[in-house]
Amino acid sequence: MAITTDDVEQALAEAPTETECSYTDRDTLLYAVAIGMGQDPLDPQELEYVNESSGSRVVPTAATVLSRGANAGGGLRQKMNYRMLLHGEQSLVVHQPLPPAADMRVKSCVTGVYDKGAGKGALVTTEMTATLMSGEPLYTLGATSFYRGDGGFGGSAEGAPQPHPLPDRAPDQTCELAQRADQALIYALCGDRNPLHRDPDIARDAGFERPILHGLCSYGIACHGVLKSVLDYDHTRIREFNVRFSAPVFPGETQIIETWQDGNVISFRVRIKERDIIAINNGKCVITQ
């Protein structure tokens, strides 16, 4: 069932959906393990993220899984080809460090739908804001979803998000993070059960030789790399963390996080060692000085 411009106008006119969400330290600890932390169980800095008796640090990008049940534009998405969906971009604004457990109110809405043309797909942008029950802002998420099979419905392509430019010099630092072959199976337990990442038949139907890793898992791995190589594992310094996904990743591949620091902006990208391709590009992390 193809979408129409009327479907798009209706989605953009809808009031934000409001949901109450809760998470516990089981969720934040599992997330850290799911993005590859704790592979060295004697690393004292990573233990603060994966073992509650060692510390209570939370990876900022865990925000992407803690309010997963709050989704906007359900009517529009039901008409789009879910099997041809890829994550295009992800942004995060951290208003305060994430607590290990919390009760939240979450608002989400569709902010844009862009038609790239017949055979070229469509982009859907959404925004999600989370506040503590006291009303204090916790985080804001922005996402761009790329529906490869839904272009050509007659909409406009103007106004789509623009990428953060990377510096024109060699990276200041690199951080190599090897991943597990079962990484997608672990990450799926954080809430994203899309079979594209676990079912070989569905992956082949979507055009991949085997299941691909969740884009948001690679997003978390990139954050792990920045924390490790630039911020000495101090999660409280991250204020924004934004990426553009540029190529699929397979579970078990080694991700190399390349970083540049200019003042309070860390630019970064992620290179896949085994295939020498860029999987995440135009990354921007804003930090406190």
So what's the pLDDT on residue 102?
97
Annotated catalytic residue, options 87, 197, 224, 235? 197
By CB atoms closer than 10 A (0-12, 13-18, 19+), residue 182 is: exposed
Mean pLDDT over 108-136 rounds to 88
What length is written for the chain?
289
pLDDT tens, position by position, 46-81: 999 999 999 999 999 999 999 876 666 566 766 776
Is residue 268 within 8 A of residue 285, CB to CB? The reply is: yes
pLDDT tens, position by position, 231-265: 999 999 999 999 999 999 999 999 999 999 999 99
Angstrom distance (rounded) from CA 177 to CA 84 = 28
Catalytic status, residue 197: yes
Domains in the chain, please, with CATH?
Answer: 5-287 (3.10.129.10)
pTM of the model: 0.91
Sheet holding 102-115, edge to edge: 17-23, 102-115, 122-132, 137-147, 85-94, 238-245, 277-287, 265-272, 255-262, 173-177
CA dist list (Å): 113 to 61, 77, 81, 121, 192: 24, 11, 15, 11, 23
Catalytic status, residue 235: no
- Give the rounded distance of the alpha carbon of 226 from its chain centre: 15
- Give the rounded distance of the alpha carbon of 260 from its chain centre: 20
Annotated catalytic residue, options 115, 192, 224, 235? 192
